[in-house]
Amino acid sequence: MSNNQASMIGNLSNKASNHAKKNKNENNPLFRENKLLKVEVETLTKRIKQLETSINESHSDLSVLGTNKDSEIESLKKHIIKLESSSIADNKVNDLNLQIKELKADLDKKVVSTPSSNSQKDSSHLISKIEELQEKNTLYKTKSSDLERKLMKLKDQTVIDSSKLSVEGFINLNLTANAAKFFKAIMDQCVTDDWYVVSGYKIKNDYQIHRNYFSDAREELVDKKLIEYKNIGKDGNVKSVEYRLLIL
């Protein structure tokens, strides 16, 4: 390639470059479109960052809620363990066993150290006392076993969280005033899906339901399949009533 040709190509290249630079201005449609696209990209980038921030905040809130729920579950577990380790019935059984031992020891001493007539009188009294304590001991053992069975059953059952029923959900049940009070009473007393003995007097008195409307309120809840109940007794003599909450 000659020097003249190289010089000519160089000049053409410089002219093309200068021409491109001159066209790169506000009046160039492609330049304007490119600028608008850059603005749109920046706007979208800001929006994406805002959304990411919002999502992170939502995750944080959900994490807090999950932690609170875990704390409630742990609290319930601790409560069950506490009940198991400090059974009132078991303590009473131990106390009664100790009293029986002490009375038997006292009886042995009095039989040896007193004249026969007084000894017989004291012996009869102590034997009667021992028999009475043994009856109580048997009763408390039975109660202790019942408590243990209930605790084991409580572990295997679904605990009903009445707070899950929102105010709107409660209103949508469309209950009469007395039925709503009755339902609140059953929700407070029945903490699992098992049967519970609930005092009619407690429902009427604590939840202010007049006895004239008691049966109607109860039947309204049964008709809406919110509760079940059954009478406990013999030969038509109702001694107690058990209730079961159906809404979980």
Highest mean pLDDT, choosing among 91-100, 126-135, 149-158, 168-177: 168-177
Q: How far apart are the first and last CA of the chain?
A: 94
Nearest Cα to Cα of residue 127 among 154, 107, 147, 111? 107
Q: 0.85 exceeded by the pTM?
A: no
Please report, for the chain, the start and end positions of each structural domain, with discontinuous segments joined by +. Answer: 1-86, 87-156, 162-245
Q: What is the pLDDT of residues 20-68, one digit of tens each?
A: 555 555 556 666 666 677 777 777 777 777 777 766 776 666 666 556 6
Question: What is the tens place of the pLDDT at every residue in 106-160?
Answer: 666 665 555 555 555 666 666 777 777 777 777 766 766 666 666 665 555 444 4
Round to whole Å and give the CA distance between 231 and 52: 59
Over the range 62-79, which residues count as b (16 or more CB within 10 Å of their CB) and which as e?
eeeeeeeeeeeeeeeeee
Domain covering 162-245: architecture = Orthogonal Bundle (1.10)
Whether the CB-CB separation of 127 and 135 falls below 8 Å is answered with: no
Distance in angstroms (rounded) separating the CA atoms of residues 81 and 155: 10
